[in-house]
Amino acid sequence: MDRVKILKRFDTPLRFSVSALNKDARLYISLVDSLADDVLFHVEFDKEAGEISVKERYAGVWSKPQKHEFVFKGPSIKGALSLEGEAFVLNLKDFRLEFPCKTLRQPIVWSIYSDFRYITLGDDETVTQALSRRWRFFPEFRLRTGVGPRLRALGESENLKPGLSALYLWDGNEAAFSQVIEKINAKVDELLVVVHNSTLFRHSFFVGLQSTYFNLRTTIVETTVKSDGSLRKLKGALFMNKVLSDVRHRNVVLLDSGTDADCLASLVTVKRLRSRTDDFLLFDEAQPDQLQAFSMGKQTHFVETARKLCLSPEDLAGRHSIFAPAIAPGASLEWDIGETRVPAFPVTLHDRQRAIRIPRRGKLAILVVSCKRNRHKQQAIRDTWARDARLANIDLCFIEGHPEQSEALLVEDRLILPVPDTYEYLSHKIWHGVSAALRLLDADHYLKLDDDCVLNVQKLLEFSYEDFDYVGSDVNLGGRTAFDWHSPAVFNKQLAGLIFEIDPEQTWFDGQGGYFLSRKAVGIMAATPLLQYQHMLEDYATGRLMGANGLDALSINSKFLSIREIYIKDDRDYENAIISDVSSVERTFEIYETVSKLNQQTIEAKGRWRFEFPEENPK
């Protein structure tokens, strides 16, 4: 993509980072007055000559370039642009340049164009730091397998069914087990009794229970055959991994005779243990290192550390932690699982120059606004970029309205809301959707999207959405006071003739390009009465509410870029875009294939990177 655009009220320094991957490129940054569509200030970098030249344009005439010596160190340039008085100020490392501006107007909105291959406007993060967040998609992790390909826990998790498997370590206490299964049977999808000592196992007892409880299974995991043909007691990590190979459902909870059945039944409902699709660890909230439940993934296997069982560092790297009251006293858990700690920096990236510690990220959920008649679009998303979201441990659900519902209901990946399923109720969908998501998905950030788009998940990972409470890929900066965008879409045609006037000073992020809301922002929306929030334009309603609470839509970080299909000239235009709108289901598959190829080229270009998964935080 030859140019990157950012709109900003230029009242604070604008940090940037550029990477000159193409040595022959003419490298420049131009500041453009978006309202007048005129170049005001131009900076050109000449690496061969070792200089920077700057010039301005006034009344359509360029000034004479001013040239300054500059030593280029490496392929990246980091700096900041600011406006001080009536002068532009360019700050680079060991370099400061002030340049008078004759065309200054306050306040002003800026666009910035550049032909750098990789440019970030809004922060000065380097390309390496940004790309490192894609680590889940690099071959070092994606194709990594465990120590035994025949153990489902070590590479065949894709075959697991949704649901909850309860693992019960058998101790021979038939009376205690009978009480537990009576209370929890309806709350789990399977109850797998693990027998480690067959002398305690009475087959007829379990046959009698299976005639009543159809989801009860047993497995004897007791011995292994040594190389000389003799038998030995199966124990340690091999025992636990063999147990996991018998699991049929994706989520696992550990039980024994000390389990509080009432607490477990409540926990399954509150924490959605049967329906969760993310990679999670459930800990005892009183003892945060005591593992209670977990999901099964491609990397899931146990290792032995200090004679205790622990999940492997590779498996811990990408998980989310959730907490709840313990379902069993810690002393009663006989699974021999040691303390489990999720490191703050679970992945270390080594490139040819240095090591970068990649911090753990907050949980992200994507809310795709849809409707019942667009379920064909939902399926196209499931078959394309939703798969990447799953690999990145991002929750995704489609929002639909069903007015007969009395409350929000999450059914697989559909969030069914108690609102009409029509255009004029979009703001109601957003309000009910984020309120329900806050309760059901419990994410740190939420990305609102429409169902006619393709999301480049790998590019999304480069963006530090954690730094924002409210940010979008395109911003409406006021000025226009009346809108009739709704006219062709509303179900109630009497609304089509209404013109909605808005506050000309109000800014908001465009809904078509998507926007992020933090837990704080979602909490604000959920606490605001619906009739106070609602508007025919849902994105305006969100911007108005956020602005009223000090979260104004003023600037864009160029890592979060959307692109409209009508502006596409060739496939490389998708290279820097996170969100691309689509005109048909067929285009969803075509664009996804294009961005997948571009992503693969990026990964291949960084083929010498090496990842490590440390067992604990570096000191």
The tens digit of pLDDT for each residue in 295-307 reads 998 778 888 887 8
SS3 helix, strand, coil % of the chain, rounded to 5? 25, 30, 40
Identify whether the C-beta of residue 82 lies closer than 8 Å to the C-beta of residue 91. yes
Q: At what angle do helices 261-270 and 174-184 cross, to 10 degrees?
A: 30
Identify whether the C-beta of residue 343 lies closer than 8 Å to the C-beta of residue 357. no
Assess whether pLDDT exceeds 50 at residue 391.
Answer: yes
pLDDT band at 204 (very low <50, low <70, confident <90, very high): very high
Give the residue range(s) of CATH 2.60.120.200 domains in the chain: 8-124
CA distances from 450 to 187, 461, 513, 542, 592 (A): 34, 19, 8, 15, 16
Q: At what angle do helices 538-548 and 426-440 cross, to 10 degrees?
A: 60
The highest-confidence range among 58-67, 69-78, 263-272, 380-389, by mean pLDDT, is 380-389
CATH of segment(s) 364-604:
3.90.550
Express each pLDDT in 551-604 by its tens digit: 988 777 777 888 888 778 788 788 878 999 999 999 999 999 999 999 998 888
Q: Which residues pair with 249 in a beta bridge?
A: 161
493 vs 164: CA distance, rounded Å: 47
Q: Which H helix or E strand runs over 167?
A: strand 161-169
Q: Alpha carbon 413 to chain centroid distance?
A: 16
Assess whether pLDDT exceeds 50 at residue 148.
Answer: no
Q: Quote the mean pLDDT of the chain.
A: 83
Looking at residue 303, its pLDDT comes to 87
Q: Count helices and strands (H / E) in the chain.
A: 15, 40
300 vs 335: CA distance, rounded Å: 16
Residue type, 153: A
538 vs 426: CA distance, rounded Å: 6
SS3 210: helix
SS3 56: strand
Identify whether the C-beta of residue 133 lies closer than 8 Å to the C-beta of residue 461. yes
Question: Which fold is adopted by the domain 8-124?
Answer: Jelly Rolls (2.60.120)
The pTM assigned to this predicted structure is 0.85
Identify whether the C-beta of residue 217 lies closer than 8 Å to the C-beta of residue 167. no
Its CATH architecture, for the domain 149-350, is: Alpha-Beta Complex (3.90)
Identify whether the C-beta of residue 458 lies closer than 8 Å to the C-beta of residue 388. yes
Give the residue range(s) of CATH 3.90.550 domains in the chain: 149-350, 364-604
Assess whether pLDDT exceeds 90 at residue 309.
Answer: no
Q: Which residues pair with 46 in a beta bridge?
A: 51
